[in-house]
Amino acid sequence: MSSAEIGVFGGSGFYSFLDDVTEHPVETPYGSPSAPVHVGTLDDRRVAFLPRHGVDHEFPPHRINYRANLWAMRELGVSRLLAPCASGSLKPEIAPGDFVVCDQLIDRTSGREHTFFDGPEAYHIAFADPYCPELRAVAIDAGRAEDITTHDGGTVVVVEGPRFSTRAESHWYREQGWEVINMTQHPEAVLARELGICYGTIALVTDYDVGVDDDDTVAAVTQEEVFAFFQANVGKVRNLLFRAVAAVPTERACGCRGDSPLALD
């Protein structure tokens, strides 16, 4: 099986024009990942691509086999993982089209398989800082080099979905001071940490969630709006990711590997 150093949660829109992409079906102890993994070379770095929602976006966020997706990346040797995601803004100053390189998350999901440590031996992973500082730095630099409004830091609140928020819920999230809302960052981020994989996200802001309090011309989000906005901006996300991949340090000095018994050497 081909190996890869860096992983990306993204589909064919990110790799279709690379010359040496090969498909790798991967089976894991947790079942099949969302799709076969595609591996190619970008700036002399071997990169594995996997669409978290499936090839045809057939898996809603609460039905994604997160454990299989992360384990498949581990099987390919991935030690660094970039995970772009669509997000709603909770603050007027974070506009659709902006990117947020998150540094914290709040988990509001329920019922998801969210750990590899189900017993009989317990292991409690350190997770105070969910996102790799080295990947955050290269993502911020890449976004600004691409002339994209890129926010350094922000808390993402992760909701179960697949429905969007009520106005009361969104208002409460804003009152807590959180920046963006998403449905997939948990358990992705914690599973990566349990495997000792560096994990970083680039949140593309697609909407204002339920609107803006003092501007009744801004409507609540719809699925059609999110999908259309993300597709229209996939080129921007791809360019940022590819610039970031080239800048990822070859040696890790971040501590994300930790001492997890599941981490690769």
Residues marked active site are found at 207, 209
Distance of alpha carbon 80 from alpha carbon 74, whole angstroms = 10
Contact 106, 185 (CB under 8 A): no
For the chain, percent helix, then strand, then coil, each to nearest 5?
A: 30, 20, 50
**Strand arrangement, sheet containing 99-101:** 104-108, 155-159, 180-182, 85-89, 203-207, 99-101, 150-152
Exposed, middle or buried: residue 208 (CB in 10 Å: 0-12, 13-18, 19+)?
buried
Chain-centre distance of CA 152, in angstroms?
16
Q: Positive or negative, the Cα torsion across 110, 116, 117, 120?
A: positive
Task: Give the C-alpha distances (Å, rounded to integers) separating 71 from 18, 25, 76, 205.
Answer: 24, 13, 9, 28
Q: Positive or negative, the Cα torsion across 117, 111, 229, 143?
A: negative
Distance of alpha carbon 4 from alpha carbon 131, whole angstroms = 20
219: its two tokens: 């409507």
Closest CA to 178 of 151, 142, 139: 151
197: its two tokens: 């994989």
